[in-house]
Amino acid sequence: MTDMNSTCDYFNIDALLSDENKLIRQSIRDFVTTEIKPVIDHAAQHHEDIPNLMLKLGALGALGPYIPVEYGGAGLDHIAYGIIMQELEAGDSAIRSAASVQSSLVMYPIFTFGSEEQKKQYLPKLASGEYIGSFGLTEPNHGSDPAAMETRLLKKDGQYILNGAKMWITNAPICDIAIVWARDEQDKIRGCIVERGMDGFSTPETLNKWSLRASKTGELIFQNVAIPAENILPEVNSLRGPFSCLNSARYGISWGAIGAAIDCYQTAVKYALEREQFGKPIASYQLQQKKLAEFLTEITKAQLLSWRLGVLKNEGKATPAQISMAKRNNVHMALEIARESRQILGAMGIVGDFPMMRHMMNLESVITYEGTHDIHLLITGNDITGISSF
Ligand code: TGC
Ligand code: FAD
């Protein structure tokens, strides 16, 4: 019998990983086991975030793993980044969200589109977790269609005036800085760094979520916020800017979803072998074995997809459409496994002693943010046919 409780590597994908990748995986797994799993149910039930989470993630090297060491990052490859996301999301999607927003949506644009001064000023503090960043693209009236954004960044007397609102923003209520996307007077998309404390900038929290309850979500509101010229990202003036950040985050999510799926799968295998009904373990019934066999098959396919995408990313060859396919497939896979594995636990599946309901509810956000399940399908359709159906 394959030992599926200690590992979930049916096709020996470990043989494709570097020793460094495996060491990183072990260190993040140890962190999740000791620091996240014991407290995550309480945090989610009480709608609280994990105290000092960002400092802890910074100390682990989980913030900006692929940002060069000279700017405070860990200088790792994209497979390492994916593995970090996988292990964090095995703990909870909120933990992976915190790390992926900081890495892909805040550090990446400063590193890619920022000035040397901006990189030196912000990246080391973001890498250590001393600063918490957020990313404002979605607006109350524009989610899937960010090209229609209404937020405006207009030049005035050597500085810029920002007006508008962003909604559904991870870490908005606790962020020190926000990367905000807005249109200028030429209708070009510009990115700027908004700092907490700037007059006219507020970040109300979004309450009563049933999903990602261990993560803070909120709005970014700008009422005539004066942005100094040195806070504008100089190297970006189109939607390619924010979308290239999404490429990195979506890639990480494709790995993260595997972590959540493995956590559900391993819990279900253990429970099915221990729980007896009609005098036998429920694992002995064909209907339960079918579920477990399908979980492992789908996890294995997802692992190969993300691993191959990571290799392409390391080679600079991963296309946005490939990333969309992996994000869509893997998040849907994880959500299905969370739902079906909860059933294997019967009534026990609905309580916080087991992770399935929490993963399931989290994954309802994950299948929506960073491009919805439907939008990613349409991106694939566009890639096949050359016809945009948006
Ligand atoms: P379209 O006309 O196709 O493109 C406009 C320009 O952008 C370029 N582009 C990309 N560049 C790099 N990477 C990509 N993935 C790109 N996709 C498009 C494109 O080449 C073009 O460039 P140019 O130079 O020709 O102007 O754009 P569209 O307006 O038709 O929209 C297409 C669509 C629907 C695919 C896009 O808008 C989309 O992806 N919508 C989904 C929105 C989304 O994903 N929002 C995410 C918000 S952030 C978030 O959710 C964070 S949650 C984080 C957490 O907590 O973990
Ligand atoms: P809509 O765009 O209104 O879509 C509603 C439905 O219509 C969806 O099913 C969609 O697939 C469908 N639809 C839309 N257009 C089409 C079409 N052309 N054809 C077919 N169907 C279509 N955003 C940020 O900028 N930063 C963040 O940090 C961030 N964090 C988030 C955290 C959480 C917990 C959540 C839930 C969201 C977050 N988001 C963030 C926002 C997220 O990216 C958006 O919710 C997402 O892009 C979808 O936008 P929407 O909710 O406005 O849905």
- Distance from CA of residue 235 to its chain's centroid? 25
For a ligand 2 pocket test, name from 179, 366, 368, 388 the mutation site with the most ligand atoms within 8 angstroms of its C-beta. 368
Which ligand ends up closest to the CA of 148?
1
Q: Tell me the DSSP string of 209-278.
A: -SSSTTS-EEEEEEEEEEEEGGGB-TT--STHHHHHHHHHHHHHHHHHHHHHHHHHHHHHHHHHHH-EET
Evaluate: CB of 369 within 6 angstroms of ligand 1: yes
Q: What is the pLDDT of residue 62?
A: 98
pLDDT-derived band of residue 11, with 50, 70 and 90 as boundaries? very high
Give the Å distance between the CA of 373 and the centre of ligand 2.
Answer: 10
Ligand 2 within 6 A of CB of 368: yes
Residues in CB range of 293: below 8 A, 6 or more apart: none
The CATH number of residue 140's host domain is 2.40.110.10
Q: Is residue 184 part of a domain?
A: yes
Determine phi and psi for 344, rounding to 5 degrees: -60, -30
Closest ligand to residue 138's CA? 2
- Position in ligand 1 atom list of the atom nearest CA 369: 50
CA 75 to centroid of ligand 2, rounded, Å = 32
Contact 302, 226 (CB under 8 A): no
Q: Which of 375, 377, 390 to mutate to test the pocket of ligand 2 (most atoms within 8 A of CB)?
A: 375
Would you say residue 303 lies in a domain?
yes
Output 146 or 3, whichever has higher pLDDT. Answer: 146
Distance from residue 383's CA to the centre of ligand 1 (Å): 14
Same-domain pairing of 113 and 42: yes
Instruction: Provide mean pLDDT across the span 151-167.
Output: 97
Q: How many structural domains is the chain composed of?
A: 3
Ligand (nearest to CA of 362): 2
Ligand 1 touching residue 244 (CB < 6 A): yes
Average pLDDT over residues 213-234: 98
Residue 203 shares a structural domain with residue 328: no
Q: How many Å lie between the centroid of ligand 1 and the Cα of residue 161?
A: 25
Final residue before a domain boundary, out of 231, 252, 272: 231
Same domain? 226 vs 269: no
Q: What is the CATH number of the domain that holds 299?
A: 1.20.140.10
Condensed to tens digits (0 to 9), the pLDDT of residues 243-289 reads 999 999 999 999 999 999 999 999 999 999 999 999 999 999 999 99
Looking at the fold, whether 356 and 252 belong to one and the same domain comes out as yes
Tell me which residue of 340, 337, 346 sits closest to 282, measured CA to CA. 346
For residue 356, pLDDT over 90 is answered with yes
Range of the domain at 53: 4-132
- Average pLDDT value over all residues in the chain: 97
Give, for ligand 1, the residue of 169, 187, 240 to mutate: max count of ligand atoms closer than 8 Å to Cβ.
240
Measured CA to CA, the distance from residue 251 to residue 390 in angstroms comes to 22
Atom nearest to 253 CA in ligand 1: 56
| pLDDT for 3 | 58
- 280 located within any domain: yes
Residue 129: other Cβ atoms inside 10 A: 21
Same domain? 16 vs 117: yes
259 lies in the same domain as 356: yes
Is residue 277 domain-shared with residue 209, that is, in the same domain? Answer: no
pLDDT at 124: 98
Do the beta carbons of residue 46 and residue 283 sit within 8 Å?
no
Which residue among 231, 260, 282 closes a domain?
A: 231
Contact 20, 76 (CB under 8 A): yes
Q: For 40, which DSSP code?
A: H
The neighbour count for residue 1, using CB atoms within 10 Å, is 4
With 90 as the cut, is the pLDDT of residue 5 above it? no
Does residue 272 sit within a domain? yes
Please give the pLDDT value at position 4.
52
Instruction: Read off the pLDDT of residues 30-81 as tens digits, 9 standing for 90 and up.
Output: 999 999 999 999 999 999 999 999 999 999 999 999 999 999 999 999 999 9
User: What is the percentage of the chain residues whose pLDDT exceeds 90?
Assistant: 98
- Domain boundary, last residue among 132, 149, 170: 132
Strand partners, 181: 191
Q: Is residue 20 in some structural domain?
A: yes
Pocket flag, ligand 1, residue 320 (CB < 6 Å)? yes
Residue 390 lies in a domain: no
* Predicted structure pTM score: 0.98
What's the CA-to-centroid distance between 101 and ligand 1, angstroms?
A: 16
* Domain match, 254 and 370 both: yes
Residues 253, 161, single domain; the answer is no
Confidence at 6, pLDDT banded by 50, 70, 90: low
The answer to whether residues 169 and 187 belong to one domain is yes
For residues 99-126, average pLDDT: 98
122 falls within a domain: yes
User: Is the predicted pLDDT of residue 2 greater than 80, yes or no?
Assistant: no
Q: How far is the CA of 322 from the centre of ligand 2 (A)?
A: 20
138 lines ligand 1 (CB under 6 A): yes
Judge whether 274 counts as a catalytic residue: no
Amino acid letter, residue 115: S
One domain for residues 69 and 172? no
Taking only the tens place, the pLDDT of each residue in 359-383 is 999 999 999 999 999 999 999 999 9
Mean pLDDT of 217-234: 98
pLDDT band (50, 70, 90) for residue 1: low
Q: Please indicate, yes or no, if residue 147 is contained in any of the structural domains.
A: yes
> Are residues 97 and 117 both part of a single domain?
yes
Q: Domain with 26 in it: what CATH number?
A: 1.10.540.10
